[in-house]
A and B are shown apart, each in its own frame.
Chain A
Amino acid sequence: MSARRIFARPARLAAIAPYLWMVLFFLVPFGFVLKISLSQTAIAQPPYTPVFDFTEGRAALAAAFAQLSFDNFHLLISDNLYILSYLRSLVVAVTSTLILLLIGYPIAYGMARLPQRWQAVAMMLVIVPFWTSFLIRIYAWINILQHDGLLNQMLLALHIVSAPVVWLSTDSAMYLGIVYSYLPFMILPLYATLSKLDASLLEAAGDLGASPRQAFWLVTFPLSLPGVGAGALLCFIPIVGEFVIPDLLAGSSSLMIGQTLWLEFFTNKDWPVASAAAVALLLLLVPPLVLYDRLQRRQLEAGR
């Protein structure tokens, strides 16, 4: 038996504890979400009537199945509020991902072209905000965007506007916040693919008569598509379920699905409807999640 295979057995044993942990605290909880999304709302603590009670044997289980309730899902499709917030989440996530791509690509491209020594510094500078508290960074923007904040003061001083502009509680503020928070997630995978690009390919394209612009669109961009995909997924998936940014920066006239879920849970105390919203959100995210998982696995387990 090779050393590699002898090593594999204790390595697998090492995985048992984290495996069990993730099953208990990641997988099993989804079962509860599903279960409660199918139960009736009740005014009680906790505020739902449980569907399954495994302690009472099979007869009770059969009876429970008979009264499984799809009311919460029915509510989700019949009430405009939910459909609208569902759609809004999608629109916001798609729009933000596109903006992020438009802004992130030139930055990542610039980074990849820096001299080697400076690339490490630029990389560090992009990563640092990722470590800095995300709530604090949103708060920093509230400081700037508020009615008598720096932005309005500046615009007034430069006579660009004659009266303070309302920035907070608008969609533009929300998009700004989202782009600001997720920019590192877009730049890093883009930079990772762009920096690995073989420069001789571009030289070859140049030698064959391509202008720099042609070389970019015919060589660089197609080769960077894996990075584009990774960055887009890394941003799109969490943005769909985003709560804090729209809650703090956007107006309250239209909600994203994450806000609806929060509202149902904390304000209306309607856990079954909140759970149904979570299930609906999760269903929407399954295809991008599977794609992302595949990408991540390929990247982390390359060279095996």
Chain B
Amino acid sequence: MARTVTTLTRFNMTSLALGLAFLYLPIVILVIYSFNASRLVTVWGGWSLRWYHEFFNDRAMLEAAWMSLSVGAVSATLATLLGTLAAVGLARGERFRGRALFSGMLYSPLVMPEVISGLSLLLLFVALNAERGFWTVTIAHTTLTMCFVTVVVQSRLTALDRSLEEAAMDLGCDPVRAFLLVTLPLIVPAIVAGWMLAFTLSLDDVVIASFTTGPGSATLPIRIYSEVRLGVKPEINAICTLVIALIAVIIVIASFASKLSSARGESAAPL
């Protein structure tokens, strides 16, 4: 009798299959149509690389892509550094004054509407008289993505067996050496996954970048967004497919990292 309650029913299978199809089908269609030879997006004109060619000859688009990749790399690196430090403070710092404020500042950007973060950072940059462009976008993205890094690394740190680093200290390591020799190697996979996540989030953002960038330095999503507002263009399909391919590579690396991490410890980070 109990068996009927816990096993998979046909309803469960159907909802799962439909759900996954819903998540993936649009992306698959987009990728297929990026190889469409026809200018009309909806008419299939045979396979072709024409739109990729077009993209690689589109100077403005390439510049935007370069801007996005460099903003992504620099901000993800900064975010990983700061986010890991924050995670160490939260997971190992016990109680300290301002802890609630600290965790609040780190958790709320995860859900904060981007229009608010973007507008508030822009007003800060204007007040500081900072020239808007690469660095302002990078700082804005660092601020957002370091929170995601913190969550990933913190959940790894709390799952970690603390007796390991305590043993290292009993054996004469000072805390910093115990951290560098014992803790850090164990959380490297989470840190790698955090960097990847930060990079993809930065590569994805339209709203915050629109607020904080200056004239002449548009990121790729900003350009895609302004093209999309005018309608569907086959070249955009090609660009999107390239971005998806890049992200797929990143996901493979990140999941490899988290597999390493779960091989070494019990549970991997949730993201």
Q: Which residues of chain B from 85 to 118 have any CB-CB distance to chain A below 8 Å in the complex?
A: 85-86, 88-94, 96, 98, 102-117
Extra A-B contacts (7), CB below 8 Å, given A15-B86, A21-B82, A33-B119:
A19-B98, A33-B120, A180-B23, A233-B111, A237-B113, A243-B113, A266-B210
Whether A113 touches B8, Cβ cut-off 8 Å, given contacts A11-B93, A300-B151, A303-B158, is yes
Chain B residues within CB distance 8 Å of chain A: 1-2, 4-9, 11-13, 15-16, 19-20, 22-24, 26-27, 29-30, 33, 40-42, 82-83, 85-86, 88-94, 96, 98, 102-117, 119-121, 123-124, 126-127, 139-140, 142-143, 146, 150-151, 154-155, 158-159, 162, 165-166, 169-170, 175-176, 178-179, 197, 200, 203-204, 206-207, 210-211, 221, 224-225, 228-229, 231-232, 236-237, 240, 243-244, 247, 250-251, 254-255, 270-271
- Which B-chain residue is minimally distant from A299 (CB atoms)? B155
Decide if the interface of chain B is mainly helix, strand, loop or mixed.
helix
CB neighbours (8 Å) of B178 from chain A are: 7
- Once bound together, how far apart are the Cα atoms of A109 and B16, in whole Å? 9
Q: Is the CB of A135 within 8 A of B225?
A: yes
Highest count of chain B CB atoms <10 Å: which of A107, A240, A285: A107
CB neighbours (8 Å) of B27 from chain A are: 129, 132, 136-137, 140
Q: Is the CB of A26 within 8 A of B103?
A: no
Q: Is the CB of A131 within 8 A of B6?
A: no
Q: Which residues of chain A from 232 to 257 have any CB-CB distance to chain B below 8 Å in the complex?
A: 233-234, 237-238, 240-244, 247-248
A17 within 8 A of B: yes
Q: Nearest Cβ distance between residue B129 and chain A, in whole angstroms?
A: 10
Q: Is the CB of A10 within 8 A of B176?
A: yes
- Once bound together, how far apart are the Cα atoms of A5 and B175, in whole Å? 10
A282 within 8 A of B: yes
A interface, how many residues as a size bin?
A: 35 or more
Q: Is the CB of A107 within 8 A of B82?
A: no
Q: Which residues of chain A from 147 to 169 have any CB-CB distance to chain B below 8 Å in the complex?
A: 148-150, 153
Nearest 5 CB-CB pairs, A to B? A241-B113, A15-B89, A29-B120, A11-B92, A110-B16
Whether A18 touches B2, Cβ cut-off 8 Å, given contacts A33-B119, A241-B115, is no
Q: Is the CB of A241 within 8 A of B116?
A: yes
Q: Nearest Cβ distance between residue A218 and chain B, in whole angstroms?
A: 12
Q: Which residues of chain A from 3 to 36 have any CB-CB distance to chain B below 8 Å in the complex?
A: 3-12, 14-15, 17-19, 21-23, 25-30, 32-33, 36
Whether A300 touches B111, Cβ cut-off 8 Å, given contacts A129-B23, A136-B240, is no
CB neighbours (8 Å) of B12 from chain A are: 106, 109-110, 113
Decide if the interface of chain A is mainly helix, strand, loop or mixed.
helix
CB pairs A–B below 8 angstroms (28 shown): A11-B93, A15-B85, A18-B82, A25-B124, A25-B142, A33-B123, A107-B15, A109-B12, A114-B16, A129-B23, A129-B24, A129-B27, A131-B197, A135-B225, A136-B240, A139-B224, A139-B236, A144-B29, A183-B22, A192-B270, A203-B6, A205-B5, A241-B113, A278-B115, A289-B112, A293-B104, A293-B108, A300-B155
Q: Is the CB of A289 within 8 A of B108?
A: yes
Q: Is the CB of B1 within 8 A of A293?
A: no
Q: Is the CB of A14 within 8 A of B108?
A: no
CB neighbours (8 Å) of B22 from chain A are: 180, 183
Whether A301 touches B19, Cβ cut-off 8 Å, given contacts A281-B116, A293-B107, is no
Q: Which of B90, B142, B210 contacts A15 (CB 8 A)?
A: B90
Mask, A99-133, CB within 8 Å of B = 1, is 00001001101110110000000101111111111
Q: Which of B107, B121, B251 contacts A29 (CB 8 A)?
A: B121
CB neighbours (8 Å) of B225 from chain A are: 135, 244
CB neighbours (8 Å) of B110 from chain A are: 296
- Once bound together, how far apart are the Cα atoms of A243 and B208, in whole Å? 11
Q: Which of A6, A11, A142, A261 contacts B169 (CB 8 A)?
A: A6
Q: Which of A36, A113, A125 contacts B23 (CB 8 A)?
A: A125
- Once bound together, how far apart are the Cα atoms of A282 and B119, in whole Å? 12
Q: Which of B8, B19, B123, B126 contacts A114 (CB 8 A)?
A: B8
- Once bound together, how far apart are the Cα atoms of A230 and B203, in whole Å? 26
- Once bound together, how far apart are the Cα atoms of A154 and B31, in whole Å? 19
CB neighbours (8 Å) of B11 from chain A are: 106, 110
CB neighbours (8 Å) of A124 from chain B are: 255
A292 within 8 A of B: yes
- Once bound together, how far apart are the Cα atoms of A207 and B4, in whole Å? 11
- Which A-chain residue is minimally distant from B104 (CB atoms)? A293
- Once bound together, how far apart are the Cα atoms of A21 and B144, in whole Å? 11
- Once bound together, how far apart are the Cα atoms of A279 and B83, in whole Å? 27
Q: Nearest Cβ distance between residue A21 and chain B, in whole angstroms?
A: 6
Whether A133 touches B23, Cβ cut-off 8 Å, given contacts A140-B30, A292-B107, A301-B158, is no
Q: Which of B104, B116, B150, B165 contacts A7 (CB 8 A)?
A: B165
A58 within 8 A of B: no
CB neighbours (8 Å) of B86 from chain A are: 14-15, 18-19, 22
CB neighbours (8 Å) of B255 from chain A are: 124
